[in-house]
Structure 1
């Protein structure tokens, strides 16, 4: 079932949003002397143009990471050897403290040298960052390919009033540009300038771009976030594992099973904690420069996703959330495609847990017009979230699909509106994928060996790499072929009519 054979594929004529154009690279890594010759002067977007350095405290904040990483590797791999030395306690203590101090000095020295060799400059076209100790490099990020701007305030950085500015640029893995660390006021000022330049807003010479006003739309209460975390499948598995270990220790009359599984238990507990910590004080706001997200307990993060940068959207509801009527929203954004694991979940979560009403408010920002005519967009989404068969105008899959998906085949189906493609799936974990026609990268038809025997096929919509992977499984082959052709035409037409990358230009 998992081994698929692709029988056909259509690609739109327009370039993929997450891939840089050949004549206008979104991100380049060039030798400094070459970049200097190619970089023609353009209008400055800050009142103090020219090359600038990061905050002088940056080496201190980076040195502890070097110390922690080395200690984790060295101590973790040599615990038994250290114990076998059988040294007096005071000698062992002095050795450990001395080693930590030596690592701190070396780490701080290296970080200070790297800080002196790092500088950045912003003009109306791109962000330029020079770095490197032995080999000098310059990274150039095109502002019209800017996908998101994040202001990250780690716990230690907040003690010094510093923040990290992360620029997510279309271009896949390795396209992120980081400015760490800046004073919080400077980070906000640079962020405003970047978003204004990316939108095509022209600010008078000698003036800084003002911060765009925002309207708070949704705020997730901490109690709801805590309850949703406790009612997640991950928490249930953690409780079952702990109960199983307790029973194992009781029968073995020993704590050996607990110690043997300590790393796994710690990993699960850490994952549950991170989910709560990342979603703490989660707010969604609307602004002229895009969608604004703010969240975090220990590490506070403020994200700004410019208009039109959301490539695909997925709404899910785990079984344990059904009685409370809670939903989770995740998105694909081109700049976050290179992240994985918890970083990807943190970057692409649009709403960690929300009601249907809050879901409607968020959708009104991300997809203001689904093209449903006189029908309410929220009613169409509701049918996709909870309906079966032909509910809400969805096209269901044939009865033959029950042999491959006996639990949720009645839930599977799709609907095409004027501006978006919706795919419905899942019974235990309900799901709805929404892809704007203009953001479809390519399309394909896949058919596994069992599908061929049953006369079924799947249509796959290729979006920017991310957590949302839209597709419609187990369709009739004729329906799949027709959908492939029609959706390709819709996507091409939508791209032709889409607005400029700099959304405030005409």
Structure 2
């Protein structure tokens, strides 16, 4: 079902079709009632304990075997007795794990209404979670390998509020998970349908598909390949140095770690595709574990576009984003926040048209981005750092700088690995001015824009102290004005109007800014 774009007024549908209505707080969403058949508390799929418990059983088996491996090889001891003891321990722990998993499953239930997703869990300690739909930041449908064999999927709801604020429904039937996802996105957008009508899946328009060949070449032309080669060369050199297996065993963790990182990057980027739909940005990827992410409109808090040194000749780019709600950790640092693992300049322009369609300039977003990634000094309308910064960062000084447009703040840097950070004004959480001892001596300071936790940490280093102080003051005004003019969290409610552009001054309009 086609829906209006984010920020545009909802068009009045024909009389013959069900009209979009504003969600009435406290009422049960008919689409969700249609999905769940019963608006009360629901349980997860009965196979959930098995899918969750196999990892625990594998760890128990590995620990017991590792602790008794040497004793099993001793000829003077009757190995059958030890085998019986180890087997009995495994059986006992397996039974305890199964009982605990069943109890945890029976104590876990969830309920969905028009305002929030409620979840209760816990055996010894009870836990209740409430995820507000108007604060919904992303919806992920995850299909692990074993889950796909059983026809099950996990539904992950990420909401604003930091780590631990989301809800994970694992596991549901794949069809049910998809229907619940559609109903949640419709309710989060402020749309509901006539009584008894099921929320359909919104149509999508393909934007980017990353070929496997390009993904492999991008891994070859990256620092990860160097890490793998160094690890393997070190292991081989250690073996030839003393001719023993001990050196190989000592170097094995380094080799396995490097190969594991390479494998993880490949599996996370395999089958990567980006699509645009009325309910937001859709990202699909995965080899063994299939993941389908949906980020509703306006939920991208910050964006980083980067280009490693070896990617300059083929002109490839990578895009990370910050999205509120994703946990801080390994996932947050890399692959979970990717919206483009490796793409051409044309594909980057298409992704920007979806994520940040308007930067508040007369130029196309791709032109602004290109100037930020390849330019120096004042190229592209950026404000550079003063010459005194060469004492603190002689290599990257000419690349450092910032630009403020009507809709966003941009900062650039990097020599070997170029990067450009973009933060919409209304998504600025807070600002900070920092000045170290050497910066004080040189009359310099750095300005940081705080976003939600993630791989993007915007900062402009080594500005003139006067320029940094003025930037801090002006950017706080821009952020406050943009937040006041931003649209509603439920982006498809009737009467929604496009968010007004911030009325704060831009660099070209400054009158009291000192020269750097």
Partner SS state of residue 503, structure 1:
coil
What is the distance in 2 between the residues matched to 1:91 and 1:346?
Answer: 47
Q: What residue is the counterpart of 2:6 in the other structure? A: none
Q: What residue is the counterpart of 1:384 in the other structure? A: 372
How many Å apart are 1:230 and its aligned residue?
Answer: 2.0
For residues 19-418 of structure 1, what are the structure 2 equivalents within 5 Å? 42-44=28-30, 45-47=32-34, 48=37, 49-75=39-65, 87-336=77-326, 338-342=327-331, 344-373=333-362, 375-418=363-406
Partner SS state of residue 434, structure 1:
strand
RMSD over aligned Cα atoms: 1.9
What is the distance in 1 between the residues matched to 2:125 and 2:346?
Answer: 53
After superposing the two structures, state which structure 1 stretch, 242-251 or 354-363, moved more: 242-251
Q: What residue is the counterpart of 1:26 in the other structure? A: none
After superposition, the C-alpha distances for 1:14-40 in whole angstroms (9 at most, x for unaligned) are xxxxxxxxxxxxxxxxxxxxxxxxx96
**TM-score of the superposed pair, with normalisation by structure 2:** 0.86
What is the distance in 1 between the residues matched to 2:443 and 2:72?
Answer: 64
Q: What residue is the counterpart of 2:483 in the other structure? A: 495
How many Å apart are 1:60 and its aligned residue?
Answer: 1.1
What is the distance in 1 between the residues matched to 2:29 and 2:232?
Answer: 61
Give the gaps of 5 or more residues in structure 2.
1-24, 497-516
Partner SS state of residue 261, structure 1:
helix
Q: What residue is the counterpart of 1:11 in the other structure? A: none
Partner SS state of residue 477, structure 2:
helix
After superposition, the C-alpha distances for 1:48-95 in whole angstroms (9 at most, x for unaligned) are 122211111111111212212334555556656666796455555555
After superposing the two structures, state which structure 1 stretch, 265-274 or 424-433, moved more: 265-274
After superposition, the C-alpha distances for 1:96-141 in whole angstroms (9 at most, x for unaligned) are 4444343332222211111112111111000011222234332111
Do the aligned residues in 1 keep the contact of 2:153 with 2:177 (CA within 8 Å)?
A: yes
How many Å apart are 1:492 and its aligned residue?
Answer: 1.0
Give the gaps of 5 or more residues in structure 1.
1-38
Do the aligned residues in 2 keep the contact of 1:46 with 1:207 (CA within 8 Å)?
A: no
| Closer/same/farther in 2, CA of residues 191 and 406 from structure 1, 3 Å limit | same
- Kindly tell me the number of residue pairs found equivalent between the two proteins: 466
How many Å apart are 1:272 and its aligned residue?
Answer: 0.9
How many Å apart are 1:244 and its aligned residue?
Answer: 2.4
How many Å apart are 1:247 and its aligned residue?
Answer: 2.0
Do the aligned residues in 1 keep the contact of 2:238 with 2:251 (CA within 8 Å)?
A: no
**Structure having greater relative contact order (Cα 8 Å, sep ≥ 6):** 1
How many Å apart are 1:256 and its aligned residue?
Answer: 2.2
After superposition, the C-alpha distances for 1:312-350 in whole angstroms (9 at most, x for unaligned) are 0001111122222111110100111x2311454232111
| Closer/same/farther in 2, CA of residues 182 and 249 from structure 1, 3 Å limit | same
Partner SS state of residue 398, structure 2:
coil
Do the aligned residues in 1 keep the contact of 2:211 with 2:271 (CA within 8 Å)?
A: yes
| Closer/same/farther in 2, CA of residues 230 and 99 from structure 1, 3 Å limit | farther
| Closer/same/farther in 2, CA of residues 128 and 244 from structure 1, 3 Å limit | same
What is the distance in 1 between the residues matched to 2:113 and 2:228?
Answer: 50
Partner SS state of residue 335, structure 1:
coil
Partner SS state of residue 421, structure 2:
strand
Q: What residue is the counterpart of 2:505 in the other structure? A: none
Q: What residue is the counterpart of 1:3 in the other structure? A: none
Q: What residue is the counterpart of 2:8 in the other structure? A: none
| Closer/same/farther in 2, CA of residues 343 and 417 from structure 1, 3 Å limit | closer
Do the aligned residues in 2 keep the contact of 1:52 with 1:119 (CA within 8 Å)?
A: yes
Q: What residue is the counterpart of 1:451 in the other structure? A: 439
Do the aligned residues in 2 keep the contact of 1:62 with 1:108 (CA within 8 Å)?
A: no
What is the distance in 2 between the residues matched to 1:446 and 1:340?
Answer: 26
What is the distance in 1 between the residues matched to 2:340 and 2:262?
Answer: 17
What is the distance in 2 between the residues matched to 1:77 and 1:501?
Answer: 54
| Closer/same/farther in 2, CA of residues 91 and 214 from structure 1, 3 Å limit | farther
Partner SS state of residue 158, structure 1:
helix
What is the distance in 2 between the residues matched to 1:357 and 1:327?
Answer: 10
